[in-house]
Structures are given as structure tokens and as C-alpha cells.
Amino acid sequence: MSTSTNQTTRKLADGNEIPLLGLGVWQVPDGPDCVKAVRWALELGYRHIDTAQAYRNEGSVGKALKESGVDRDDVFITTKFLPRAKDPVAELEQSLRRLGLDHVDLYIVHWPEGGPTWMWPGMERARELGYARSIGVSNFSETELASVAGIADVMPVVDQVNFNPTAFRRVLLDACQRRDVVLEAYSPLGTGSLLSDATVGAIAARVGRTPAQVLLRWCVQRGVPVLSKSTHRDRIEANGRIFDFALTDEDFSQLDALDRTGGTGNGLEQPWW
Ligand code: A2P
């Protein structure tokens, strides 16, 4: 793998930098649990938080950021446009109000409902207005990215997808690289199911790390920004310690071989809309 062990950020095509490790708050209810998780992550050195309009917890993310005392400019905040609404600009104005911010670092289309392109001019407008420093997509396939490229003035800089050794979307990863789109990983632990995988366990034992650290490292060592979700302080802390060890080429071969998607160019297996 080419990426160096200690690299903790990656440059996006628009010149902005994304921290390779972020805390994801999918399925964390708005309220104390979400505020605590974000506060702990910020205390423990995370500088990247990923929320969404659909998660309904932007208010807690904003509260935690404010209470943390960490400089807003030092934290990379992502939210996502829920494509059941019509207007990405109006929806982002609401998100910013809930977050208590004047801009987010990254605003992405949560999924390509109704097709991949109709919302893109609105996303570009959100960027022009300064509401979002960078814009991108999520759950988009290679083909859907190509459709956006056909109409875009400004290309998405990120495609956030379900990505882990059993969902190693090699064709999508290559397509992203060719288009200068950074593939970002959600569900890096297979929503927890990969933590008991025998291959992952054997590598974890060999390197003296936890299975979660191995799975997160599998992303960041290849330069893929990764969103780790936990509401437990000890797990948030351990999941952050992934920049001080390296997997070998042999570890990568074994983990890559767990793929069950056939190296797909799709963004996900089953659309839910
Ligand atoms: P919890 O929030 O209770 O810690 P993914 O990132 O693939 O979506 O997986 C997230 C799931 O994995 C959550 O259910 C989370 O539970 C759990 N999880 C996160 N980090 C760890 C860890 N270090 N050890 C065990 N489970 C973890």
C-alpha cells in the first residue's frame, strides 16, 4: 500500500483537506447519547464528524461542537441532503440552523433517489453561496457518477459508500480515482458483523490490535477516509488509535479476498428507496 502510516488527512480535488478518520453518528438518537459521543470524540482528538438530515441529530452535533471548546475551523463537519426534499439550498439552510454553523465542510447527496443528477445544480449553488466548502455524493455507482460528470460545473469530490473487506468495491474505487473523487467508507466494521470474522481476528492477533482497529486501518492505509460509529468512550478512543501501526501486503491480500460483491462498481447492493 502506498499511503504512509502516519498520514491523517487527504486532499480533495477542490483543494480542501478531509481528516481520514471521522466519527459517524448514524442511528445515534438526538439527545445526550449523541452529544456525549461527539464530545468524547472531540476530546480524544477526532476532527471530523459525519451527520445527515436523515439522522435527525444535527442539533446534538452542533451542541457538542459548541460545548467542546474546540475551534470550529479545526473540525471537518459533513451533513447530507435528504433527496426526498426538493431544494438542497433550503435544506442546508435548515441544517446550518440546527448545527449552529454558518457553513459545513462537506455537503453530500445522501442517495440518488429520483435519479443522480436533478439535485446537483442545487448542490453547486449551496457551494457558491458558501454554505458548503465541498460538495459530494453518497451511495452513487460508477454509472451514476458518470451521469453527474455529464452535467456538472463542479464535480463531486467525495462518494461515501458502504466499504469494508466484504464490500470491497474495487471497480468503484478505481472509477473514483480516475475522476479525482475520494471514496469515503461507511460501515467499515460491516455494522459490527466483521468484528468476529476469523481472518480479521487472526490479523488482529498477529499485529496486537483489535479487530476494529484492523478494519479501520484497512481503509486509512489505502487513503480511504473512514467513518467509525460508536457511542462508547473506550471504543471511540481505541478506534482512533489507527495511525501508529501498519498492515502488510499479505494482510491486505487476505482481507481483500473477503469481498462478496465481486469488486462491484455499484454504490450499494439494494436500494432502499
Ligand atoms: P457501539 O456504538 O455500541 O459501540 P460500522 O462502523 O461498521 O457501522 O459498525 C458500527 C457498530 O460497531 C456499532 O454497532 C458499534 O456499536 C460497534 N462498534 C464500533 N466500534 C467498536 C469496537 N471497537 N468494538 C466493538 N464494537 C464496536
Q: What CATH number does residue 191 fall under?
A: 3.20.20.100
Relative to the CA of 238, which ligand 1 atom is closest? Answer: 23
Cα of 233 from ligand 1 centre, angstroms: 11
Q: Does residue 14 form part of some domain?
A: yes
Given this model, what pLDDT does residue 6 score?
67
Q: Does residue 252 form part of some domain?
A: yes
How many structural domains compose the chain?
1
Contacts of 16 (CB under 8 A, 6+ apart): 105, 133, 134, 157
Q: Does residue 264 form part of some domain?
A: no
Question: How many Cβ atoms from other residues are within 10 Å of residue 110's Cβ?
Answer: 21
Report residue 81's pLDDT band, with 50, 70 and 90 as the boundaries. Answer: very high
Q: Does residue 263 form part of some domain?
A: no
148 by DSSP, 3-state: which? helix
Number of helices and strands (H, E) in the chain? 10, 10
* Ligand 1 binding pocket includes 238 (Cβ within 6 Å): yes
Residues 187, 176: contact at Cβ < 8 Å?
A: no
Q: Does residue 261 form part of some domain?
A: no
Report residue 3's pLDDT band, with 50, 70 and 90 as the boundaries. Answer: very low
* Ligand 1 binding pocket includes 232 (Cβ within 6 Å): yes
Relative to the CA of 213, which ligand 1 atom is closest? Answer: 23
Average pLDDT, the chain: 97
Does the pTM surpass 0.75? The reply is yes
Cα of 39 from ligand 1 centre, angstroms: 17
Residues 73, 47: contact at Cβ < 8 Å?
A: no
Q: Does residue 249 form part of some domain?
A: yes
- Residue 120: pLDDT over 90: yes
* Ligand 1 binding pocket includes 188 (Cβ within 6 Å): yes
The H or E element that residue 79 is part of is strand 76-81
* Ligand 1 binding pocket includes 187 (Cβ within 6 Å): yes
Q: Does residue 271 form part of some domain?
A: no
C-alpha cell read off for 61: 452535533
Contacts of 53 (CB under 8 A, 6+ apart): 79, 80, 81, 82, 85, 91, 94, 95, 110
- What is the residue range of 234's domain? 9-256
Q: Does residue 167 form part of some domain?
A: yes
Active-site residue set: 55
- Residue 2: pLDDT over 80: no
Given this model, what pLDDT does residue 7 score?
80
